Structure 1
Amino acid sequence: MPHAVSRLRDERLARSSKPFIARGSKAPRCARCRVVHSHCLCPWLPVADGEAGVCLVMHDIEALKPSNTGWLIADVVKDTHAFTWSRTEVAPALIALLDDPQWQPYIVFPGEFVAPERVTEQVAPAPGKRPLFVLLDATWPEARKMFRKSPWLDRFPVLSLAPEQLSRYRLRRSKREDHFCTAEVAALCLGLAGEEEVADRLDHWLDAFSQHYLAAKYQRPIDPQDALHQHLADDQAAMVRLGQS
């Protein structure tokens, strides 16, 4: 069954007046993993899991970009939701999700741009609630605009991350090394929520996606027996066994 970002991509394509062609490559891509067929990732596709949820609020064409990492979050995090951001209207389903009593939404954004009383660095939902991490999936300038022009987010706490490691993402780079791709941010949030195994799975899936994407771009072979692919295969098998027990 297609996940939330895949469905959003299909909806966006249906509204397009012309085909979306990614920059730098016109080679046919696998519809499931978005990598060219010669370097398809699908044999290592992880099994989605976890109690925390992720809500992706995506800038207009993010879901169409092959390098978008929100797609990887939806591969790994079972409860991933995706919506297209609009300045003039908010999807009723998005508001319903944020109001759902099972969730405690956290808007993930740097605390330096937010009133101090809204900022938290901990994930501690009330009893009976699950954390829902709301990520603005866009370039940094776009995300700042989205945050400023989304007053419907103002009632929720802002989770400000202060990670020690620098970004490992290699496909689209910010000019600042302390800016992270969306999947890295999600993994950090999951770790704060105590879901270290899911965070680890997402980190490895991001590494594999980056490796396959770049190898296809530069026409380099993939070693399916290396440590990364073996880790993915072992984790995949373990999750399948867990689901069958």
Structure 2
Amino acid sequence: MTTCFLLPSGIEEGHAVTRLRAARLAASAKPFVARGSGGGRCDACRVFMSHCLCALKPSVATRSGVCLLMGDIEALKPSNTGWLVADVVTDTWAFGWARTAVDPALLALLADPQWQPYVVFPGEFVEPDRIVTALPSTPVSGADERKPLFILLDGTWTEARRMFRKSPYLNHLPVLSLEPREASNYRLRRSFRANHLCTSEVTALCLALAGETLAADTLSAWLDVFTAHYLSAKRGDPLDRSSEAHRRLQALNTRSASSAV
């Protein structure tokens, strides 16, 4: 049975997914070993040390927040892209999902008046009166001043559907149904749904919908660079650090730094 994992005292380093991973490992009866981990992975970026990309990690200001509800071992998988979301979006929370328990910190987050939560899920599986396809364009007053909090169900498609059906604390929230115009470019796992996007791709669409184009583009570029490093290490191929993806990320990082001045 799936259980939720509260952070033990002393686990404070890193972003939300880093901390959830540490809590999950601390609660595990035996160590989790990812495939091909014999070469040693960087604890910060999860890629083999020879292909570490920590020095390229982007920094961009965001108004939106992200709440990741993660399947049992998602935070442990080196290929998980919720990790990339937490790299880019400062206000990211990560919770282990459980059918029979809910972290009180998650309920407090959903009730925080500064946020307007949206469950991100395909509209074809949702009652029509819960579906929204756009966000308020200009905050004016009252509830419209709340910042968007995108709730991502991070797991396999089977896990995501179970989370959606069996999380009653989400039932009162609007459901943001996205309409991606392009197929997924995610190459680290195989999906059985042709229109399935990985978690970081979905988050990038959410950020773009919220008007945060720079953050959306940065997250997309970060996924491309991460994928290049991950696959190069896995296959033993030479890594091209001057590739189009690397140049695009560098340009976006420069834009972000300039806008912060």
- What TM-score comes out, normalization by structure 2 length? 0.90
Residues 190, 196 of structure 1: 8 Å contact kept? yes
Partner of 2:221: 204
Partner of 1:46: 58
Q: How does 1:1-245 map to 2 (within 5 A)?
A: 2-124=14-136, 126-243=143-260, 245=261
Structure 1 distance, partners of 2:85, 2:134, is 21
Paired letter, 2:219: L
Residues 48, 75 of structure 1: 8 Å contact kept? no
Q: Percent identity?
A: 59
Structure 2 distance, partners of 1:165, 1:229, is 21
What do you get for the CA RMSD once the two structures are aligned? 1.3
Q: Does the C-alpha gap of structure 1 residues 240 and 164 become closer, same or farther in structure 2, counting only changes over 3 Å?
A: closer
119-128 vs 88-97, which moves further: 119-128
- What TM-score comes out, normalization by structure 1 length? 0.96
By how many angstroms is 1:123 displaced?
A: 1.6
Q: Does the C-alpha gap of structure 1 residues 206 and 220 become closer, same or farther in structure 2, counting only changes over 3 Å?
A: same
Figure out how many residues of one structure are paired with residues of the other and give that number. 244
Structure 2 distance, partners of 1:167, 1:242, is 29
By how many angstroms is 1:46 displaced?
A: 0.4
Partner secondary structure for residue 107 of structure 1: strand
Structure 1 distance, partners of 2:258, 2:43, is 27
By how many angstroms is 1:234 displaced?
A: 3.1
How far does the alpha carbon of each residue in 1:182-228 deviate from its partner, in whole angstroms, 9 at most, with x for none? 00000011111111110000000000111110000100111112222
Structure 1 distance, partners of 2:182, 2:249, is 22
Residues 64, 207 of structure 2: 8 Å contact kept? yes
By how many angstroms is 1:242 displaced?
A: 4.3
- Gap regions ≥5 residues in structure 1: none
Structure 1 distance, partners of 2:83, 2:37, is 19
Structure 2 distance, partners of 1:182, 1:230, is 23
Partner secondary structure for residue 38 of structure 2: coil
Paired letter, 2:152: L
Residues 214, 252 of structure 2: 8 Å contact kept? no
- Gap regions ≥5 residues in structure 2: 1-12
Partner of 2:7: none
Structure 1 distance, partners of 2:252, 2:108, is 34
Structure 1 distance, partners of 2:217, 2:16, is 21
Residues 60, 253 of structure 2: 8 Å contact kept? no
Structure 2 distance, partners of 1:172, 1:163, is 19
